């Protein structure tokens, strides 16, 4: 079974298996934060835009919107979804992010920040995001935090058996609650061509909040708030998946 880059094999079924379930809390929390912090914008970029669901919700025919992702397969799905909207899609790594023009809002959803492999990569991404924001603009993102009081994550195996999808996904925690690695073995039925199988390896780093807070401040952001994804309340010591809202100084 060949190994491919993350999302190269699962892009066509990403929303069906993952995206649909995770989108609702992300979108609802984003809307509540926009209302709470009076975030208004006529231009925005979605970093790690994936299949374009978030951008499709932002599109109103008036806003200038960019979608950025490093996965060509995910961008192909996004291009079909966003056809005719005028949204510009860019294939870029966020550590080398270079928007055509600065925007008033940057969103970074579904733990995209956690795919940065090192502190230096995290700092480079945040520096580039800050450079792409207008003064007074906002960055809204969700992230998995290395919460000291959170229960240890067990090793999990997910078996998927659908009419056109067969998969085995093995999720393993990294040592000291530093993150997780997922090995995905996925087979998709091709019309008239049998099954196409591939394996992907996804690694997430769960950042300690003090590290993330320090880097955000260092690149010119001020913290406005942190929220739990599912109810918008302030996170407690055991909450790991949170939304962060910062403003560009």
Q: Does residue 81 register a pLDDT over 80? A: yes
Report pLDDT digits (tens) over 141-182.
999 999 877 888 899 999 999 999 999 999 999 988 899 999
At 156, phi and psi to the nearest 5? Answer: -130, 145
Q: Among 40-44, 144-148, 205-209, whose mean pLDDT is lowest?
A: 144-148
- Give the integer Cα–Cα distance in Å for 48 and 51: 9
Beta-strand relationship, 64-69 and 43-47: parallel
CATH number, domain 11-145+206-248: 3.40.50.150
Cross-strand partners of 227:
243
Question: 126-131: long-range contacts at Cβ-Cβ below 8 A with a sequence spacing of 24 or more?
Answer: 126/215, 126/216, 126/219, 126/221, 127/219, 128/94, 128/95, 128/96, 128/97, 128/98, 129/47, 129/94, 129/97, 129/219, 130/219, 130/220, 130/221, 130/248, 131/102
- Give the integer Cα–Cα distance in Å for 93 and 76: 16
Domain spans of the chain, in order of start? 11-145+206-248, 156-204
pLDDT at 157: 97
Structure tokens, 184 = 């995905």
pLDDT at 193: 78
**Mean predicted confidence (pLDDT) in 34-39:** 98
**Mean predicted confidence (pLDDT) in 76-100:** 97
Structure tokens, 43 = 């231009």
pLDDT at 210: 96
Q: Does residue 41 register a pLDDT over 80? A: yes
**Fold topology of 156-204:** N-terminal domain of TfIIb (2.20.25)
- Give the integer Cα–Cα distance in Å for 238 and 174: 18
Report pLDDT digits (tens) over 112-121.
999 999 999 9
Beta-strand relationship, 133-144 and 103-108: parallel
Q: Does residue 220 register a pLDDT over 80? A: yes
Cross-strand partners of 105:
44, 138
Same topology for domains 11-145+206-248 and 156-204, yes or no?
no
């Amino acid at each position: 079974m060949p190994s491919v880059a993350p999302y190269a094999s699962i892009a066509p079924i990403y929303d069906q298996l993952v995206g649909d379930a995770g989108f609702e809390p992300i979108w609802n929390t984003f809307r509540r934060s926009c209302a709470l912090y009076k975030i208004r914008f006529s231009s925005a970029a979605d970093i790690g835009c994936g299949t374009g669901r978030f951008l499709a919700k932002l599109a109103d025919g008036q806003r200038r919107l960019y979608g950025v992702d490093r996965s060509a397969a995910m961008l192909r799905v996004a291009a079909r979804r966003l056809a005719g909207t005028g949204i510009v899609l860019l294939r870029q790594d966020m550590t080398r992010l270079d928007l055509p023009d600065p925007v008033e809002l940057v969103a970074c959803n579904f733990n995209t920040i956690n795919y940065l492999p090192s502190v230096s990569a995290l700092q480079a991404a945040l520096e580039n995001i800050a450079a792409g924001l207008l003064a007074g603009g906002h960055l809204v993102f969700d992230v998995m935090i290395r919460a000291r009081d959170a229960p240890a994550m067990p090793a999990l195996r997910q078996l998927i058996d659908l009419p056109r999808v067969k998969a085995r996904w093995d999720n393993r925690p990294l040592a000291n609650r530093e993150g997780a690695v997922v090995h995905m073995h996925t087979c998709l039925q091709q019309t008239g061509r049998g099954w196409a199988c591939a394996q992907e390896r996804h690694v997430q780093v769960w950042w300690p909040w003090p590290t993330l807070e320090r880097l955000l401040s260092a690149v010119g952001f001020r913290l406005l708030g942190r929220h739990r994804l599912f109810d918008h309340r302030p996170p407690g010591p055991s909450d790991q998946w949170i939304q962060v809202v910062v403003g560009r100084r």
